[in-house]
Amino acid sequence: MDLFDSERRVIASARELAASLGSDAHHTVAAAAMDTTGRIHTGVNVDHFTGGPCAEMVAIGVAAAAGAGSLVTIAAVGDHGRGVLPPCGRCRQVILDLHPDALVAITDKSTGGETIAPIPALLPHSYRHPDAAPMRLLRFNARYVDAFRAGKKTLSVRWNEAHRTGRALAYFEDTEHGPAPVVITSVTPKRLSELSATDLELSRPGGLDRYLANLHAHYPAMPDDATVEIVRFRRTASDI
């Protein structure tokens, strides 16, 4: 998945902090987390025989102390040039429960560079804490800002995100637009192969083919036999 400039800034912040850690064996990993306003919160691990917290957990705590709300991107980098590190199992579970729509920096095995992955992809067939109740994010490309603002964007198809009805925030990737409150009114599962133009409220000729092509581009790992979710929502604020 190609990185937005904002995601590169998160990785760069973690890398810069990791490079400053020095030789203290108790602090060997740095993490950075970006909230929906673009603020980046950082932290380092605390290695201790009693089980000190990972850098991601510290960064999440720092963000919470700053009133950050939902986090959109998280990255961890090891000291001494070890590069981007994937979260451990415990961190994956915590991120999934508290920030289920966050994207996490990992190493792209095919290129050796950095890429970004949704947290559900890093913890398939997962348990979700029933009492976590995080504020969910509906992430959108910036090109949908005007359609959203005009009230024309009220439907989206999602894969492997497990949305629910209720309050959420519309978040526009890599823009200066702040999040906008929405209400998810329905979540309808459907086989990808069975999606129709009627399901997606498309009227232009060829619209379904273009929509499916864009969907595959957005979710390159999505199999042809996937079950997707048709998410319908409405705005609850006048502007963004």
- On the CB side of 163, CA atoms within 13 Å amount to 30
Amino acid at 142: A
Of 7, 16, 56, 173, catalytic: 56
Strands (E) in the chain, as ranges, are 29-35, 40-44, 71-78, 83-84, 103-107, 114-118, 136-140, 155-158, 166-172, 180-191, 227-235
Which tokens in the block code for residue 135?
């504020």
**What's the rounded Cα separation, in Å, for the pair 114 and 1?**
9
The answer to whether the CB of 76 falls within 8 A of the CB of 31 is yes
**What's the rounded Cα separation, in Å, for the pair 131 and 123?**
19
* Whole-angstrom Cα Rg for the chain: 19
**3-state secondary structure (DSSP) of residue 65:** helix
Q: Is 229 a catalytic residue?
A: no
Which tokens in the block code for residue 171?
């978040």
84 beta partners: 77
Residue whose C-alpha is closest to residue 233's, from 191, 176, 188, 178:
188
Q: Which 8-state DSSP code applies to residue 78?
A: E
Active site members:
56
